[in-house]
Chains A and B, each alone.
Chain A
Amino acid sequence: MNPFRRSPFVLTAAVLVYIFLYAPIIGLVLYSFNASRANVTFEGFIPKYSDRIVMEGSLVKSSPCGPFHWYCELAKNNDVAEAAGNTLTIAFIATIISTIIGTMAALALQRYNFKMKPFSQLSLYIPIVIPEIVMGIGILTLFSQFFGWVNETFNLVGNARLSLGMATVTASHIAFMVPFVALVVQARLQGFDKSYEEAAMDLGANEWITFRRITFPIILPGIMSGALLAFTLSLDDFVITFFTNGPGSTTLPIYVYGLLRRIITPQVNALSTVWILVVFIAVLLLQILQNRESKDHS
């Protein structure tokens, strides 16, 4: 056995890393049960269930939901529901579109030689390395200039006027997600053996059937990890969304930021806890699916 594995140093380091990574999350969850409305110090759990909310100063003494008081408050909050709906809508649409574009880009870069190939490859990295805020401002400028010109030229009025909203947020998300998808899928394609496609065509399949029945299933795990990465990036994007959103397109990160500027109530913690739970379950499901897949293949 590796003597290093028994070393107390390794154990200590591991514990410290776990504390560093997870203590903030545990604290955040704990504070979502805080009796104190001010949420600066932990004043204990809300002790009692009762038929109405009893407050004593900034402390909640009892609530119909008991310790889950802030979760009930959250459920009553329509703004949160709307923001969550917006976030998921944007994430879903942007993920689907960016996954399709990114996969096509990766396939094209892998199998064809063309004059602008080095440039195309490089242009994939640029949106990843440039600061998000620069990209956000850039996209905002583009939209406002373009919308201004269109509104002006066609004399659009009222609701017909183009303005920032769900569409602009979704479009800008697609713009920054495509390179991530393309790079993840490209990495997966590195090991792709072209003879599978040749074999399919040799057996009588045309290009489209070959892609649908052979290439796509083989690279699907790569596409899925690219899509998942894109999805999570979209879910918690703040900077670019901040610049490109408009009325009615508030996402959760933007909403939370808005709450924090006023008062930090445990509602924010409750929201974050639910959020973490959803993401955790999603990742777990994906892991289970992938495990089953790889068991089939071994």
Chain B
Amino acid sequence: MTSEFAVEMRDVVKKFITPEGNEMAAVDHVTMQIKNGEFFSMLGSSGCGKTTSLRMVAGFEWPTEGEVYIEGKAMGHTPPFQRKVNTVFQNYALFQHLTVYQNLAFGLEMEGAKEDEIKKRVGRALEMVQLTGMDRRKPKQLSGGQQQRVALARALVKTPDVLLLDEPLGALDLKLRKEMQLELKALQQQLGITFIYVTHDQEEALTMSDRIAVMSKGKIQQLGTPVEIYERPTNKFVADFIGESNFLEGKIKSISQNEASVFVSSINAEVVGLPISKGLVKGEEVIVSIRPEKIHIAEKDAINQNMFRATVTNTVYIGVDTKVFVDVHGAKLKVWEQNRISRLDPKSFYTVGQEVWLMLLPENTIVLRKD
């Protein structure tokens, strides 16, 4: 390995001309460094620039500005067939007129490998994805899951430095998708290859990734480990996009080195002892964000700060959790309570109109800049 980073994007911009003739930046000044052997995901909804970023690494698109580096080498206008990366396509793009064996052998023939070597490597790749014996089938004779494995094997047989995956599990049903997620992760760890994975499915990204880049409107909103992204979102978009959050608008009342007190006008109360990120100042308008499963419901007024009187407006039982919707001085909040106890007794649910106390733990509560 010549470089610390398998792939690096430095200040990359990709502009397209829309059919109306306007210029649009699909990728807008993106910088990221993907380490060797890392499982890296780009997560975002459609049109966020994740696929365009991946295609620029593969070489199907060239940046309008900035540069893509693979193994420390600037790629410039290097065509795809001269890059040591391989792609698993969303629709698999298996060659329908060739057999499974020929599909896998194609890339090796391009390297000029000898026939017996091709045979050996194709055999090993098929074994790896558990498709031994399928080599003479045509892609159309395989199930969706099997086609997906062929696409994976076709890319991996080339032993690339970096494997690019563009929503590879999107076409599979939920159960198979979950199996494949774990299988892909295990395969990546076993091979030690860098995976760059594009998905719009946050659970998929959280399950598999070492690090995730959350993208929106061509920009990286946050880049970090799954835990960081979920527990410490750095802006409202990420807090809202990943999982669910309650947002309360407020103003910083007092601030110390790493704690702040925020006056939340909508509930007419002060939340104290909140951890803060740098750059926030006293008097600034902020958003207090807290995940629904991190709010505790207490029935009695315990001796604690950050306790608020609330009225239950609705409860919904969804098996794993019970969703409790409450009203705090007119502010609507959602609270997820895990069903650790049996709910067979109807009395175990909160009743509509019941008065409860909500407890916010400062370490679970995030202060975000208002944008």
Contacts and interface: CB of A to CB of B under 8 A. Distances in A.
Given A193-B91, A218-B97, A201 B140 contact: no
Given A201-B81, A206-B79, A196 B110 contact: no
Interface in A263-298: 296-298
B111 A199 contact: no
A199 B110 CA distance: 13
A204 B91 contact: no
A198 B138 CA distance: 20
A297 B86 contact: no
B148 interface: no
Contact of B154 (A193, A196, A203, A206): A203
A199 B81 contact: no
Interface string B152-183: 00110010000000000000000000000000
A202 B86 contact: yes
A297 B110 contact: no
Interface in A176-228: 193, 195-196, 198-206, 209, 213-214, 217-218
Given A193-B93, A206-B81, A297-B97, A198 B106 contact: no
A298 B81 contact: no
Contact of B138 (A202, A203, A204, A296): A296
A294 to B, nearest CB: 11
A154 to B, nearest CB: 48
A297 B94 CA distance: 13
Given A201-B80, A203-B158, A297 B96 contact: yes
Contact of A198 (B85, B89, B110): B89
B97 A209 contact: no
B58 interface: yes
A198 B97 contact: no
A204 B107 contact: yes
Contacts of A218: 96-97
Given A218-B96, A297-B97, A297-B138, A202 B91 contact: no
Contacts of B97: 217-218, 297
A196 B154 CA distance: 13
Contact of B140 (A209, A217, A297): A297
A198 B91 contact: no
A195 B95 contact: no
Contact of B87 (A196, A202, A205, A297): A202
B349 interface: no
Contacts of A217: 97
A214 B95 contact: yes
Contact of B79 (A201, A203, A297, A298): A201
A92 B89 CA distance: 41
Interface string B325-364: 0000000000000000000000000000000000000000
A204 B95 contact: no
A193 B80 CA distance: 17
Contacts of B58: 198, 202
Contact of B106 (A193, A195, A200, A297): A200
B107 A198 contact: no
Interface in B100-140: 106-107, 110-111, 138, 140
Contacts of A213: 106
Given A203-B158, A205-B106, A198 B81 contact: no
A236 to B, nearest CB: 33
Interface string B55-93: 000111000000000000000000111000111011101
Interface in A211-264: 213-214, 217-218
A228 B90 CA distance: 36
Nearest to A218: B97
Given A209-B110, A218-B97, A202 B81 contact: yes
Contacts of B85: 202
**A199, A201, A209, A214: which has the most chain B beta carbons within 10 Å?**
A199
Given A205-B81, A298-B140, A195 B91 contact: yes
Quick one: which of B59, B93, B138 has the most chain A CB within 10 A?
B93
Interface string B271-313: 0000000000000000000000000000000000000000000
Given A204-B111, A204-B158, A298-B140, A196 B80 contact: no
B68 to A, nearest CB: 15
A293 to B, nearest CB: 9
A295 B21 CA distance: 45
B110 A204 contact: yes
A214 to B, nearest CB: 6
Nearest to B86: A202
A182 B162 CA distance: 40
A115 B97 CA distance: 35
A204 to B, nearest CB: 3
A296 B138 CA distance: 8
A176 B154 CA distance: 44
Contacts of A298: 140
Contact of B80 (A198, A214, A296, A297): A198
Contacts of B155: 202-203
Contacts of B158: 203-204
A200 to B, nearest CB: 7
Contacts of B107: 203-204
A205 B110 contact: yes
A205 B98 CA distance: 15
Nearest to A210: B81
B63 to A, nearest CB: 17
14 contacts: A195-B89, A198-B60, A198-B87, A198-B89, A199-B93, A202-B58, A202-B80, A203-B106, A203-B154, A203-B158, A204-B81, A204-B110, A214-B95, A298-B140
Report the 10 A-B pairs with minimum CB-CB distance, sorted nearest first.
A204-B110, A203-B107, A199-B93, A195-B93, A201-B80, A202-B87, A204-B81, A217-B97, A201-B81, A202-B80
Given A198-B89, A198-B93, A202-B155, 14 more contacts: A195-B93, A199-B94, A199-B95, A202-B85, A202-B86, A203-B81, A204-B81, A204-B107, A204-B110, A206-B79, A206-B81, A218-B96, A297-B140, A298-B140
